Structure 1
Amino acid sequence: MKDFEKDYPDYTEAMGYEHGDEPPCNLSANRNFYEVMEARVARRGFLMGGLASIATGLIGGGLSGKAALASSTSPLIGFAPVPVSFEDKVVLPEGYTFQVLGAAGAPISGDMPAFRSGANSGDEQEHQVGQHHDGMHFFPIDGSSEDGLLVVNHEYIEPRFLHAEKPGYKGQPIGDSDVVYDADGKRDDDEVRMEIAAHGVSVYRTAKQADGSWAIVADPRNRRITANTPMEIAGPVRGSAHVRTKYSPDGTNTRGTVNNCAHGYTPWNTYLAAEENWAGYFANTTQLDQKPDLPREHARYGVSTNPQGGRYGWHLAKSGADEFVRWDATTRGASATEDYRNEPNSYGWMVEIDPFNPDAAPVKRTHLGRFAHEGVVFAPAVEGAPVVCYSGDDSRFEYIYKFVSDAPYVAGETDGSILDSGTLYVARFNDDGAGEWLALTPGRNGLTPANGFADLADILVNTRLAADHVGATKMDRPEWGTIDPRTGDVYFALTNNSRRTQAQVDAVNPRAENNFGQIVRWNYEGNDHTRSSFGWDLFVIAGTGRSSVAPAGGSLNDDNIFACPDGLWCDENGRLWIQTDMGDIGPDYSGPLKDFGMNGMLIADVETGEIKRFLTGPWGQETTGVVSTPDGRTLFVNFQHPGAHASPEDFAAGNFGSGFPDYDGATVPRSATIVITKADGGMVGS
């Protein structure tokens, strides 16, 4: 498995690639997680080729005495599993219903501008729900399970659906990531403004109505946070030379947030939005001797050297206004305060948002590190003890991180500033099932000026390079994490686990390109998350019946096969909700993931190891984002990018790839939240 990094010379051809994924950036010699897995298996006397034979070697061993290999029927999962689906619809177990809430373009603020399919303006989009929903959290109002603020991330956009009725798009063969330039290579200002506004975060009030449905409620707290919203920079990087720009010469402020994937919910009742694949939004065409000349804080993250940038070419808007040209990180002035060479350094952070205070500027918390954050998950807060949280870097062969605050948590007093001082660590997974956290602080583990790390701000801006230097374990796209609130066990999804080409498949190695993923789990002695050592195992190895290992031993079956675990959430009762992202799969897909049908969501009982498929979604979508009301009787789930598999020719012909959620034959598909309830009013999943 250690040679996997060489399997795909063109990273866009790798299974599971989605628009916006980073190019390979980790060129360090650190061991990847595959080598650790192989070494551990070898130590226990198993062969890697036979997955069934490693069930007791990797699954359920050494964690808190759980009955991980028990074979019993779960008391927590009381529904009949739904089958794999190939249909353009939402499928739920018998006895469950759903409704659509907050689809892209739904009005939430201002004069509540109506959604017009493919025809809204930038000004209207600034008051409408953004595109491509991802992580979210429900903030109850006064503890209510029927009234609260829903905060939703918007990971990226599909320009052709935003502009479907506009010249240059309507009736044209436009791909899912394409934008239209004029003859001079420039972009329309309003189209760019709309795309910027469709990114970021939506905050809106939603309440249960008399008929049992949920609706958006006009409220002064409703707002859009976009890729142009003013924000503060906090923590050790604030004011440093790394983030000084023309907009903020003192390095204390920036604008906007993009590619907000998963999220976090703090013990002090605020929201954290993750900035994931942000590097491709920028262009840096600086050259030295006619060759690209990127600083390491750009190169290690994949900032594009293409004059149009890696994604949407926002810096090429016709007007040349400052809000647009800031996406050009090319060195143009005599100093950093005369251009935007440092603008990319103000991205890659976790962004704290107070949903109840619309006047409070979002804050980028730099001590949590700079990388492709998938999200952040907090350990249960302990009065008088440090705050602890975890975050994965969602790119191939990147790392998992932990932050431990200096100050103790004090209920009712602690706020987000506690995240500005502490220690950031990166994980090393050892062969024997033990692991250790390596501190990323000045003077420790070789992070010295002599080795290229001037101070803490320099380490944090170059978090990946610091992790490379200290010898962290390369993981395979760490996605969401979650913590069992009852036991403290930590779970992280590793979404792609590929090793082989199709030509290398044989009877004992059945996983063609081994792209199905796994979920890793760890815990601590005394359930103390501040400790520097931990014990780990694999909770489940995803795949088909022939290529998986179930938590209770044996293989997954028709009721629970899945691939590419992404979203994770452990509810208060110990149900582990698992969401999948196999890419933009449509009905004609015939590749290695064809047996899994459409993306969906499963539930695992972590005590018994039982897993059942709870939901499947429409064509082309990724199932992502999951949270319930406090009483557990209402569940919110997001569907992202339905119809994204539609070819340019399909789009030109008006075949948009999916009808979700409107199914009227004319409206473009839209990302949306669905609200799931049980017909008998019981707890969802029970």
Structure 2
Amino acid sequence: MSEHLDRDDISTNPSGNRTLSDIANADVSRRHVLGGTMGLAAIAFLAGAPAAQAATPTAAPTATTADVVARHGRRKPLLGFTAVPVGADDDVHVPEGYVADVIIPWGTPLFSDGPAWKKNASDSSLEQAMQVGYNHDGQHFFPFDTRGRRKSRGGRHDDNDAGLLVLNNEYTDPALLTTDGLDTVTPEKVRKHQHAVGVTVIAIEQERGGRWTHTDSPFNRRVHANTPVVFSGPAAKDPRLQAKTPARGTMANCSMGNTPWGTYVTCEENWADYFGSADKNHKVTDEEKRYGIEPGQTHYKWEEADDRFDTDKDPNEQYRWGWCVEIDPFDPDHTPVKRTALGRVKHENCHFATSRGRVVAYTGDDQSGEYIYKFVSKRPWRAARAMGRSPLDEGILYVAKFHEDGTGTWLPLVFGQGPLTKKNGWKDQADVLVRTRRAADAVGATPMDRPEWIKENPLTGQLFVTLTNGTAGPNPANPRKKNVYGHILRWTERHGDKTGTEFDWDIFVLAGDPTKDPQVDINGDAFGSPDGLYFDTDGRMWIATDVSNSKQLLKEYENLGNNQMLCADPRTREIRRFLTGPKGAEITGIMGTPDRRTLFVNIQHPGEETKAIGAPTPANPQAVSSWPDHDPAGRPRPATVVIRRKDGGIIGS
């Protein structure tokens, strides 16, 4: 996430709902803890005692985890590697015995006869549409056999050798994408930016010797901000979605989810940053403010060359963004579908699970003071598909309310229920979904500190969410008044039923530098601003960090170095640093092959402006970083890193 996107740290939620800080005086003895004790720092803080004076408690495994351990007979630790030190140089580092290869950096041609990337960024918008996009983020690996056929879920070992890598390209850097930046705006420049965002679908395979490479495939394609799209679900025909031009595009694609039926769902996050007006007298509406649209011109300046993004010229276009977008990677002719039943917010990711035959989709709204949601399909997903219906078009969208006793409730966002009535100004279910944030305000959901990735431990069914940073505390669930480091929460759905409305929650880890903040509660290596999450099938939890470039290497973060990826054992809460990234970069998009012997990790925005180092310019694009090429004539390039063990073993073991 770029420096100018730090507006996510600023809440646009005026609802006055009970924040986590409102429960600061809750009785700690009533705290229902999942799989261990409350963090030492939280207990000491609430009791008024310095954390350093107490002994570190040992977290006990949950009954579910203990059963799994007993059933599989696992006694040795999950983490079998030696942690790497904090990194501050301009490269990627992994533990001894591992290799990290770079593939598909920005500008890589989708086909062998496609346009080659130009070091001076002089590629045209048409060429960019035939190349890998910019700023790799969330991704998923879809295996296929040597004939390119789709593999069944849980397939054979050859599922690990070749497949489609589908990845989000979140946003662009004007100083690096074109030869002369955006000081002068032209339609061609704006089109290049629009063609560099969205989603990249590209075939990859493992060669002899273990290295991976991209290959030609009929499935290779780009989905970008000018690709035709359609809408489905309850809000598809809402008048606000009927703008002046046909519906086109997806952008601000942060993370993603993969459905049980084998499709890819990309999430539109910071879409509001692209909407503005050149009219100095333009006044932002309350609804625009609620979603983060600000007065004046934008950082990207798309509104100067594309009327869709000028809120004066086309006030309805903004309602076409902020959705979860489904793409079939194995159908190059598939038109992306924006699934309105999942609500319109700043979606970070969308984790799909199944329960009682139904599909359940969890998503966080990544802005300070926003909420955690889940969608439950109306009918079993297989039955819906057999009827020719999408399981994502019919169902109930819920928003989470966290209680001070460690329990929680999923509140339905259903027109006609509770405050969501005509009497209170709601028109219908489409209105609830178009104004999802307002609906969540109305039912009394719990504002959170930037809820980001949500993932499920496949061994226990527990859900984990990263909360990057915020100011909701102090309280049992968020014990720091100024939470610059972030933390990770986890919850278990009551009775294991993900379609239900009750859950139990606790804090998994309070991130940060313990030399700066005695409340930090980490069993292992220090880190801050947790963002991406991934679980492998052994239950290892991989954590990626996204320390803002306005904070990286400074003050609270001066000892934590560049952004990093860590690995955690959810049972013991031990955390070890596995990877450190180059200068100015975020680590994201963790994804593994089914056999756990290859791990794909994305390096986003290397070389971006940082307060501690400097800022790239069109004249000096390598002012911060030259990764991965380290070519004096080139520029930094977001890319995917492929990690494997030299002995061919399981990553992390």
Same fold flag (TM > 0.5): yes
Q: Distance in 2 between matches of 1:497 and 1:305?
A: 24
What does residue range 103-142 of structure 1 map to in structure 2 within 5 Å?
Answer: 103-109=105-111, 111-117=113-119, 118-141=121-144, 142=151
CA drift at 1:119: 1.5
Cα distance in 1 between the residues matched to 2:52 and 2:376: 38
- Which residue of the partner structure matches residue 326 of structure 1? 308
| Percentage of matched positions with identical amino acids | 43
Counting only pairs closer than 5 Å after superposition, residues 58-137 of structure 1 correspond to structure 2 as: 64=63, 75-109=77-111, 111-117=113-119, 118-137=121-140
User: CA 1:548 to 1:576, structure 2 compared with 1: closer, same or farther past 3 Å?
Assistant: farther
Structure-1 residue corresponding to 2:38: none
Aligned to 2:467: 494
TM-score, with structure 1 as normaliser: 0.84
Deviation, structure 1 residue 653: 4.2
Residues 20 and 230 of structure 1: CA distance in aligned 2, closer, same or farther (over 3 Å):
farther
Distance 1:52 1:207 in 2: 50
Tell me, in whole angstroms, the C-alpha distance in 1 between the residues paired with 2:225 and 2:9.
Answer: 19
Q: Which residue of 1 aligns with 2:166?
A: 151
**Structure 2 vs 1, CA of residues 516 and 231 (structure 1 numbering), >3 Å: closer, same or farther?**
same
1:444 counterpart = 2:408: no
Specify which of 545, 549, 552 is matched with residue 580 of structure 1. Answer: 545
Name the amino acid aligned to 1:194: K
Structure 2 CA distance, aligned partners of 1:237 and 1:57? Answer: 51
Aligned-pair RMSD on alpha carbons? 3.2
Q: Which of 243, 259, 272 lines up with 2:241 in the alignment?
A: 243
Q: How does 1:523-542 map to 2 (within 5 A)?
A: 523-542=492-511
Aligned position for 2:593: 629
SS at match of 2:138: strand
Aligned 1:157-556 pairs, distance under 5 A: 157-163=172-178, 166=179, 168-169=180-181, 179-181=182-184, 187-248=185-246, 254-284=247-277, 292=283, 294=285, 296=287, 298-306=288-296, 308=297, 310-317=298-305, 324-330=306-312, 332=313, 340-379=314-353, 381-382=354-355, 385-410=357-382, 413=386, 417-498=390-471, 513-546=482-515, 555-556=521-522
Aligned equivalents of 2:224, 2:207: Cα separation in 1: 29
1:198-239 per-position Cα deviation (integer Å, ceiling 9, x unaligned): 110000000111232111111111000001100010100111
Q: Give the Å deviation of 1:500.
A: 9.4
Distance 1:73 1:286 in 2: 65
From 531, 535, 544, the equivalent of 1:566 is 531
Q: CA deviation at 1:604?
A: 0.7
Residues 585 and 59 (structure 1 numbering): CA distance in 2 closer, same or farther, change over 3 Å? farther
Cα offsets for 1:170-204 (capped at 9, x unmatched): xxxxxxxxx213xxxxx212111110001100000
Conservation of the 8 A alpha-carbon contact between 1:110 and 1:127: no
- Matches of 1:542 and 1:357, distance apart in 2: 42
Question: Residue 347 of structure 1 aligns to which amino acid in structure 2?
Answer: W
Q: Which letter does structure 2 place at the counterpart of 1:216?
A: H
Task: Give the superposition deviation at 1:299.
Answer: 2.6
Q: Structure 2 length as normaliser, TM-score? A: 0.88
User: C-alpha offsets along residues 466-509 of structure 1, whole Å, 9 cap, x if unaligned?
Assistant: 000100000000010100112110000001044799xxxxxxx9
Q: Residue 236 of structure 1 contacts residue 456 of structure 1 at CA under 8 Å; is this kept in 2? A: yes
> Structure 1's 631 and 25: CA in aligned 2 closer, same or farther, altered over 3 A?
same
Match of residue 565, structure 2, among 590, 601, 605: 601
How many residues end up aligned between the 2 structures? 616
Question: Which segment drifts farther, 52-61 or 523-532?
Answer: 52-61
In structure 2, what is the equivalent of residue 8 of structure 1?
none
Q: Is the 8 A contact 1:108 1:223 kept in 2?
A: yes
Q: Quick one: which amino acid aligns to residue 200 of structure 1?
A: G
Q: Which amino acid aligns with 1:312?
A: Y
Paired residues of 1:25 and 1:300 also in contact (CA < 8 A): yes
Partners of 1:458 and 1:355 in 2: how far apart? 31
Separation of aligned partners in 2, 1:549 and 1:215: 46
Partner of 1:496: helix, strand, or coil? Answer: coil
Q: CA deviation at 1:311?
A: 2.6
Q: Deviations over 1:333-373 (max 9, x none)?
A: xxxxxxx2211101000000000001010000011010000
Query: C-alpha distance in 1, partners of 2:428/2:308?
Result: 27
Letter in 2 for 1:579: A
Letter in 1 for 2:13: N
**Counterpart of 2:126 in structure 1: which amino acid?**
D
- Flag the 1:194–1:590 CA change in 2: closer, same or farther, 3 A: same
